[in-house]
Chains A and B, each alone.
Chain A
Amino acid sequence: MASVRRSLRIARPAEEVWARIGDPADLPSWFPGIVDAQVDGSTRVITTGIGIPMPEEILTNDALARRFQYRLTAPIVASHLGTIDVFDLGDGTSLVAYATDATPDPVALIIGGACGNALHELRRQLEAPAPAAAPNGGEA
């Protein structure tokens, strides 16, 4: 089994970051290469950008610990555990760590690489300036 971890700091409060990560159906909005996610209880089926469906089992969705864990059950892996932790850094910013443990080893790097890229996209979205309000109260 190989373990790949990516992490970065996001200049937004932990609860705001967690609101995105803790919503399993929201994944396609911040994970490049995942175009759909269907959630049914503890099961989620994602579809990749080339049309491959991959079933997952949601193991942990703990808003107090701000930890999300899931297991890919697709044949691409013999075993897999994905873990996303959001840490409150106490200054209005957060540290997000996304760990991928998988067998076979190269698959951990394939998935872990995509997860790292997803963190960058999540940060880009969360740190983007909010649209300025127009004088009439609408959006500029």
Chain B
Amino acid sequence: MGRKILFVTTDQQRYDTLGCNGGTLARTPVVDALAAQGIRYERAVPQSVVCMPSRSTMLTGQHPSTHGVWMNGVPLPVDAPSVAARLHDHGYRTALVGKAHFEPFMDPFGRFTENRLSGSGSPTADNPWADGRIGPHRGFDHLEFATHGAAGMLHYARWLQQHHPEAIGMFYRTIDAAFNVNAEGGGASGAPQVHDNPIPRDWYHTDWVADRTIAWLDSLAVEDDWFCWMSFPDPHHPWDPPASELHRVDPAEVPLPAGYPSDRAERERLLDAKPRHWRQWYDGDLVANYEAPKEWVPATLTDAQVREVNARNAVECELIDEALGRVLQAVAARGWTDDVDVIFTTDHGELQGDFGLLFKGPYHVDGLMRLPLVWRPAPSAAATPAVVTHPVGLVDLAPTFCEIAGIEPASWMEGQALPADDGDAATRGFERVLTEWDSELFGVAVHLRTITRDGWVCTAYQPGYVHDGTEGELYDLADDPLQRVNRWGDPAVAGIQRDLLADLWDHQPAMRSPRPDVEAPV
């Protein structure tokens, strides 16, 4: 028997939403305890700040250019490698419960396997996949999918349709009549994607994901080795947690985030010091990517809206923490605790008011780029608790799973197993993390390449719709933790900029050829 792996992801969660990272709004005692027992990473960086590329990086251990999912809407190629498959081939039972999103959701043709699976049910000996096998798909024996509400064809939506059809209309309608991300506001403040959801808590997708994870774990033999990716759709917008839980965080008591300048003139001065697409989005003049509601103008954001979004986000984070606690209790009940590694992270962050913005986009700053990452090694491994300050990436997760399982990382993996402490990180060369952004939406192209190294974040803009290839951003993370002062082009740091750019281009992965097409908006 080897070590078992519980891989817990959330969607679009900021670093500062956890108590162990200094967060004060949401109570997250379960993750905080894991961090105290294990390793907490202070500079975990995604390789993309949107879902599909980032999740594909987790699965493949590759940068977006390599696996090919360069933006939402690009399906992960069917021949892409999978760490789940590698674990499966070494005897692990493998499951993914919750949000996958390696393939587009918008699929009226039913072309993508993820969208078709709920119709064929969960495979068992009596009910195998349509082709007669009992898994795996992308290396998983067992798949049960959910996303941010009741729409679509995924398992959670079908479960609601079957057991609680009255709940279908309770969620926020994430897509509007024109198939754009909905800008409609709700709650007390009218903030976009905020909605009062009367759904009972135990019907909500956070608890469903935990329930289905426990059910899968209960189906295993006690001696099985297993890898379970439990993937919560929250706290990604819409911010529509069960209304019964809203009492947990009173928006009126929520302090305005440090990254949100409440003075409009200051906000706009900060935006004007950045490459021009920042201000253009703020003013409603340019929407560079599908993920931002097309009809919402960030300049209309109010203090009350920022407070309400942050309050509801905190409620969702608390529900996730409690759901994880239930799963860990189930693990303990099976007698597995000593042999289970738990890794908790997310795919990317959320602006959540920073610079007067919400959601995400081509903005490589901490709101989107600094992620929560906690690794609690199996207690039987007797690891020493630590805090790692060196930069690490989600690209390092796949080799970490291999190391836990006692197998060699595959040659196609581009990261290395996460360091146990800063000394280990220094010895093994954890110096830099790379992040990519490529969007091409109806003639608007934005291309960013970013390096995080030596306490700096440096982003080079490639030629596109609004950039000529000379623009960039350079932030000193120590002196400017809110990334308010763009040092790009500052003669005082010209050598640093030059060195970072040289390193960025030296380590840039080549784009998969031919480059896969965008096949849907998301």
Total chain B interface residues with beta-carbon distance under 8 A: 21
Cα–Cα, bound, A94→B521 (Å): 29
5 closest A-B pairs by beta carbon, nearest first, are A33-B109, A49-B110, A113-B519, A50-B110, A106-B179
Residue on A with the closest CB to B119?
Answer: A50
Q: 1/0 contact trace for A16-49 toward B, CB 8 Å?
A: 0000000000000000111000000000000011
Shortest C-beta distance, A57 to chain B (Å), equals 19
Cα–Cα, bound, A113→B518 (Å): 6
A117 within 8 A of B: yes
Shortest C-beta distance, B205 to chain A (Å), equals 21
Residue on A with the closest CB to B441?
Answer: A109
Residue of B106, B108, B109 touching A32 (CB-CB under 8 A): B109
19 A–B contact pairs at CB < 8 A? A2-B442, A48-B108, A49-B110, A49-B111, A50-B107, A50-B109, A50-B115, A52-B108, A76-B108, A104-B180, A106-B179, A106-B180, A106-B521, A109-B73, A109-B518, A109-B521, A113-B520, A116-B517, A117-B519
A10 within 8 A of B: no
Total chain A interface residues with beta-carbon distance under 8 A: 20
B428 within 8 A of A: no
Shortest C-beta distance, A122 to chain B (Å), equals 15
Q: 1/0 contact trace for B114-135 toward A, CB 8 Å?
A: 0110000000000000000000
Residue of A2, A50, A109 touching B108 (CB-CB under 8 A): A50
Residues on A with C-beta less than 8 A from B363 are none
Cα–Cα, bound, A50→B117 (Å): 12
Given A110-B107, A110-B179, A116-B517, 10 more pairs with CB closer than 8 A? A32-B109, A33-B109, A33-B110, A50-B107, A50-B153, A105-B180, A109-B521, A113-B518, A116-B519, A117-B111
Residues from 492 to 522 in B contacting A, C-beta threshold 8 Å: 517-521
Residues on A with C-beta less than 8 A from B521 are 106, 109-110
Cα–Cα, bound, A57→B115 (Å): 28
B→A interface (CB under 8 Å): 73, 104, 106-111, 115-116, 153, 178-180, 290, 442, 517-521
Cα–Cα, bound, A107→B178 (Å): 8
Q: Could you tell me the dominant secondary structure of chain A's interface residues?
A: mixed
Whether B110 and A110, one on each chain, are in contact in the complex, defined by CB atoms closer than 8 angstroms, is no
Whether B519 and A49, one on each chain, are in contact in the complex, defined by CB atoms closer than 8 angstroms, is no
Residue on B with the closest CB to A113?
Answer: B519
A104 touching B517 in the complex, CB below 8 Å, given contacts A49-B116, A76-B108, A114-B111: no
A106 touching B178 in the complex, CB below 8 Å, given contacts A116-B517, A117-B519: yes
A6 within 8 A of B: yes
Residues on A with C-beta less than 8 A from B179 are 104-107, 110
Whether B517 and A113, one on each chain, are in contact in the complex, defined by CB atoms closer than 8 angstroms, is yes
A110 touching B106 in the complex, CB below 8 Å, given contacts A32-B111, A49-B116, A104-B178: yes
Residue on B with the closest CB to A31?
Answer: B109
Residue on A with the closest CB to B111?
Answer: A33
Residues on B with C-beta less than 8 A from A2 are 442
Shortest C-beta distance, B320 to chain A (Å), equals 29
Whether B519 and A106, one on each chain, are in contact in the complex, defined by CB atoms closer than 8 angstroms, is no
Residue on A with the closest CB to B104?
Answer: A113
Residues on A with C-beta less than 8 A from B153 are 50
Shortest C-beta distance, B441 to chain A (Å), equals 8
Residue on A with the closest CB to B175?
Answer: A106
Shortest C-beta distance, A104 to chain B (Å), equals 4
Whether A48 and B517, one on each chain, are in contact in the complex, defined by CB atoms closer than 8 angstroms, is no
Shortest C-beta distance, A34 to chain B (Å), equals 7
Interface-central residue, A107, A110, A114, by most chain B CB under 10 Å? A110
